[in-house]
Structure 1
Amino acid sequence: MQNIKIVPEGDASLLIQFEQVISPEVNQKIAAAAKLIRAQQISGIIDMIPTYCSLLINYNPLVISYEALFKRVESIVRMESRSEAGKKKVWEIPVVYGGTYGPDLGAIAEHAGISEEEVIKIHSSKDYLIYMLGFLPGFTYLGGLDEKIHTPRLASPRVRIPAGSVGIGGSQTGIYPMDSPGGWRLMGMTPVKTYDPDRETPILVEAGDYIRFVPVTEEKYLEIKAAVEAGTYEVTVHEGED
């Protein structure tokens, strides 16, 4: 349990603090801890929320006390097991880049000193680790954006960003799951609903999964969008090695 602390967080939460750095290694430890705790099916645990450097556990103190939960969690964290070490789940998210779908693509390219085509190639050339979900239901905080296309947020946030917009905010990239205000630079849009309250599992992805953006034409985007609305589209998912 080196560099790991377990502390109370309010009167019905417990916080596991890992190393205070943003890295795939720390994220993997958090995912492993969450998986092990979930497997124990501890009565009283209501929810677990992973972040960049910690895991928050919400529990019912009428079912399990803090002391009892602390002991259970401490013994699990001591295992220091890796969650399916070397395995990763990759979601392929189709994106139409530029134009009215990505009004800031030109500004991103100009800031980087490269062409729009190069920005698209860079952005869609790797698998992004989902470090955490937050801000909005299903909003993905992705790690690993190439430094070449790091772009400052807008000085004045937009009042409304359409659901499905793919953007860059500083050193991060992500998908807006619903219409909302926001200050990230918009480079494209996906027809895939990363959050759908009417779906059996409303949030499509989980922290610890990966996302790969796949460039598509406007024609293909509209085709996929129609399939999504009809409930017939299935996102391509790969399970591979790290």
Structure 2
Amino acid sequence: MTRRPETQSQRPDDPLFDVPQIAALGIDGLLVRFRAGESMEANRAALALRAALEADPITGVQETSGALASVYLRFDPAMDVREAILSALRERLAAADWARAPLPQGRRLWHVPASFEGGDAPDLGAIADAAGIAPEEAVAQICAAPVRALALGFAPGQAYFGMLPARWDIPRRAALVPAVPRGAIVLAVRQLIVFAATAPTGWHQIGRSAFQPFRPSRGDETFAFRAGDELRLHPVGGAELREIEADDPGGMGGARAEPIA
């Protein structure tokens, strides 16, 4: 059964809106939302819709971008295209069950070595306590399975990976940390980030990699991660990570990517 767009209700037993919502965003944009918060189903819908719009653009749409559970479409407000775009968008939304649509093609599984020792993981003990387990078990659980790049944002090439099991629904800090290093592995609200640049954060640093997600010298490969990619962290010792870093000045940090069938 297909979903027709633009209703405001939400079933309590369904993580998605009964139908996708379309809202105006400024004078030159439309926002399609599949859920008010995050869920893997809503993220799949957002990824699939954006991929479909990129593969077969709606006339008049100049740009699309994706978030955790929504897709943004930008158009030229000087052109009389808004109503035509709305009509075409409603047709697209009604034509498929986006929460069950295939994920974008060309996705990759990234294997990234990371240290969870000492100064590389200043908040590991605290988040393990919050989860009620030992730090070693916390690392084992976090590294046990791949997590999906739900969206990119905050900094160039920086991906939000999730969703971790419910025990990792740990809130952000009450106060900002002045800076975590590029490559830091941080955690909050069931998500992981590999920091693309040194930056302040309200998230918890639980590890560090030598991987650089943002590589401006690589042209078409400036952004390593794409929305829909997956990440698997592999624990290594702090000394081993530093050896990897010294042997790999190009910023891969021992990471490798393989296609997802």
Taking structure 2 as the reference length, the TM-score comes to 0.80
Aligned residue type for 1:238: E
Q: 1:14 aligns with which of 30, 55, 58?
A: 30
Tell whether 2:79 aligns with 1:60: no
Aligned residues of 1:24 and 1:129 also touching (Cα < 8 A): no
Aligned residue type for 2:43: N
Aligned to 1:164: 183
Matching of residues 103-122 of structure 1 within 5 Å: 103-122=122-141
Question: Which stretch of the first structure deviates more once superposed, 183-192 or 212-221?
Answer: 212-221
Question: Which stretch of the first structure deviates more once superposed, 15-24 or 161-170?
Answer: 15-24
Tell whether 2:88 aligns with 1:99: no
Aligned residue type for 1:17: R
Structure 1 unaligned runs (5+)?
A: none
* Deviation string, structure 1 residues 139-186 (Cα, Å, up to 9, x no partner): 322222233344443333211111111112243322221111112111
1: CA distance, partners of 2:88 / 2:177: 46
Tell whether 2:215 aligns with 1:218: no
2: CA distance, partners of 1:48 / 1:145: 27
Question: Which stretch of the first structure deviates more once superposed, 147-156 or 204-213?
Answer: 147-156
1: CA distance, partners of 2:54 / 2:186: 33
Aligned residues of 2:213 and 2:224 also touching (Cα < 8 A): yes
1: CA distance, partners of 2:205 / 2:237: 17
Q: 2:92 aligns with which of 42, 64, 76?
A: 76
Tell whether 2:146 aligns with 1:130: no
1: CA distance, partners of 2:75 / 2:164: 35
* Deviation string, structure 1 residues 95-132 (Cα, Å, up to 9, x no partner): 11121111111222233332221111011011112222
2: CA distance, partners of 1:233 / 1:104: 22
Query: Alpha-carbon deviation of 1:37?
Result: 0.9
Aligned to 1:35: 51
Question: Which stretch of the first structure deviates more once superposed, 200-209 or 72-81?
Answer: 72-81
Query: Alpha-carbon deviation of 1:94?
Result: 1.7
Tell whether 2:207 aligns with 1:188: yes
* Residue identity (%): 25
Aligned residues: 241
Taking structure 1 as the reference length, the TM-score comes to 0.85
Aligned residues of 2:64 and 2:73 also touching (Cα < 8 A): yes
Aligned residues of 1:109 and 1:149 also touching (Cα < 8 A): no
Aligned residues of 1:151 and 1:185 also touching (Cα < 8 A): no
Structure 2 unaligned runs (5+)?
A: 5-18
Cα 1:37–1:155 shift into 2, 3 Å: closer
**CA-based RMSD:** 2.7
Question: Which stretch of the first structure deviates more once superposed, 191-200 or 28-37?
Answer: 191-200
Aligned to 2:12: none
Cα 1:124–1:31 shift into 2, 3 Å: same
Aligned residues of 1:27 and 1:53 also touching (Cα < 8 A): yes
Q: 2:41 aligns with which of 5, 22, 25?
A: 25
